[in-house]
Amino acid sequence: MYLPGHRSDHFSLSQEGTLQIEALRKEDLGTYICTALSAAGSTEISARLEVTSQDQQPPPIINVGPRNQTLPLKSMAAFPCEALGRPPPATKWMKDGREVTLEKDSRLTVSPNGTLQINGKQRQDK
């Protein structure tokens, strides 16, 4: 276990909790789990690291992804999905296993950076 501010020749952990691995090796592949603890409870999230050879194109990386939300009726929800890669990847959204379709009179929009917004109120086109 590493504590914030810890640094070794291969791993470092910032005060904010970002784990950085330098000079990746094949043995670094695996699932990494971040756990946050407080008096109110705990939560965790995991991410899988794959390590490719230098001549392979790695798959896109979702740099910022959506989080669970509980919101009141008629409010707006925003789910970010910022992906990085070469060539720049396209993003698409699924809801309950079906692709989200954006219709002209829909309450759904996707911004150029991939964020899905759901407007709680029906849009009025003028």
pLDDT of residue 43 exceeding 70: yes
Where residue 4 falls among pLDDT bands split at 50, 70, 90?
low
Q: Considering the entire predicted model, what is its pTM?
A: 0.56
Say how far apart CA 91 and CA 24 lie, in whole Å: 27
Averaged confidence pLDDT in the chain = 85
* Identity of residue 33: I
Say how far apart CA 113 and CA 33 lie, in whole Å: 26
pLDDT of residue 115 exceeding 90: yes
What residue spans define the domains of the chain?
11-49, 61-119
- Give residue 53's pLDDT: 78
Read off the tokens for 81.
């999905």
Measured CA to CA in angstroms, residue 83 lies from 61, 62, 66, 112 at distances of 5, 4, 12, 11
Superfamily holding 61-119: Immunoglobulins (2.60.40.10)
Read off the tokens for 113.
């950076």
Where residue 126 falls among pLDDT bands split at 50, 70, 90?
very low
